[in-house]
Amino acid sequence: MEAVLILLGIIIILIVTNIKVVPQAMTYIVERLGAYKETWGVGIHFKLPLIDKIANKVSLKEKILDFAPQPVITKDNVTMQIDTVVYFQITDPKLYTYGVDRPLLAIETLTATTLRNIIGDLELDETLTSRDIINNKMRIILDEATDPWGIKINRVEVKNIIPPKDIQNAMEKQMRAERERREAILKAEGEKTANILVAEGKKQAMILEAEAEKEAAILRAEAKKEAAIREAEGQAEAILKVQNATAQGLRMIKEQELSKEVIAIRSLEAFEKAADGKATKIIIPSEIQNLSSLVTSIKELSN
């Protein structure tokens, strides 16, 4: 009885220990008697005790390989250090398990040789400015080479390019000279712009001043013209009034029908007022002289 219980206990333990649960993003490679049998996906699985064996547990997540800097030589014989980062994913666990021994080391070695071949066709300046081209070429070559291993190369990134010290010093001097040149250009352009703005300001000020003087001259001319017009109108009005007064006087004389003698007397009175007691000599026409003698005679007769 005890032997049966012991045997039953052993069977239960074997059954329990051979039940396997495969988690998410994992696959198990199962071998039976040393040969590949199947690939387990996510879920519960049972293997035969002492017959089946889990040969490999493969993760399907994307992996990253960061390699140490690799020495490479450019087309113009410049030795530099370049380190790369490879992003890959296992697409076929069976090929990954049986396709190549130590697949990660194989990827690293393949990456180094591919990088040397690509950089060997480029010069130093092209290497420093063609990272995208290098990344794309390496991804295509590595993806084709690792396809029989069940590996998919998603992308390759050149993380760092380290030229020799003398090249770095030369590049720093060149960059410094370029920055100084750009600074000088910017400074010159700034001074040029400032001078242009100052000149434009002076020009605008002179234009405004000239326009102001022009407007002032126009206003002065208009004021003089207006004053002249008013003066002329005043003179014309005065002349018109004089003419009207003269015409009125003539009309009154005509209406009164004055005789020549009266007119002569009036003329004499006018000459008297003209003299105003200040003139020492007055020239009197002969008609008025005769008239004066006539007036004297009339005064005597009246007396």
Q: Residue 122 maps to which CATH number? A: 3.30.479.30
CA dist 281 to 70, 262, 290, 295, Å? 137, 24, 18, 21
What was the pLDDT predicted at 135?
92
Residue 270: inside a domain, yes or no? yes
Please, are residues 74 and 123 in contact by the beta-carbon 8 Å criterion?
Answer: yes
Rounded distance between C-alpha atoms, residue 205 and residue 179, angstroms: 38
Residue 176: inside a domain, yes or no? no
- Of the candidates 59, 90, 107, which is a domain's last residue? 59
What was the pLDDT predicted at 60?
92
Q: Which class for 89: exposed (0-12), middle (13-18), buried (19 or more C-beta within 10 A)?
A: middle
Residue 102: inside a domain, yes or no? yes
Distance, CA of 62 to chain centre: 42
CB atoms within 10 A of CB 147: 15
Domain count, the chain: 3
State pLDDT tens for residues 83-135: 899 999 999 999 999 988 888 899 999 999 999 999 988 888 888 888 889 99
Residue 187: inside a domain, yes or no? no
Q: What is the CA radius of gyration of the chain?
A: 64
Do 45 and 67 lie in one domain? The reply is no
What was the pLDDT predicted at 76?
85
Residue 152: inside a domain, yes or no? yes
29 contacts: CB under 8 Å, gap ≥ 6: 36, 39, 40, 54, 55, 56, 57, 58, 93, 94, 97
What was the pLDDT predicted at 302?
44
Do 42 and 74 lie in one domain? The reply is no
Closest to 41 measured CA to CA, from 20, 13, 67, 10: 20
What was the pLDDT predicted at 294?
47
- What is the domain extent for residue 139? 63-163
- Of the candidates 130, 163, 196, which is a domain's last residue? 163
Rounded distance between C-alpha atoms, residue 141 and residue 114, angstroms: 8
Residue 154: inside a domain, yes or no? yes
Rounded distance between C-alpha atoms, residue 101 and residue 66, angstroms: 20
Do 92 and 159 lie in one domain? The reply is yes
Q: Is the pTM higher than 0.85?
A: no
Do 83 and 117 lie in one domain? The reply is yes
96 contacts: CB under 8 Å, gap ≥ 6: 56, 58, 90, 103, 149, 150, 151
User: Torsion over CA of 275, 280, 281 and 282, rounded to 10 degrees?
Assistant: 10
Do 42 and 84 lie in one domain? The reply is no
Closest to 93 measured CA to CA, from 18, 19, 46, 25: 25
- Of the candidates 36, 59, 82, which is a domain's last residue? 59
Q: Which residues of the chain carry a pLDDT beneath 50?
A: 279, 288, 291, 294-295, 297-303
Residue 205: inside a domain, yes or no? no
Do 94 and 23 lie in one domain? The reply is no
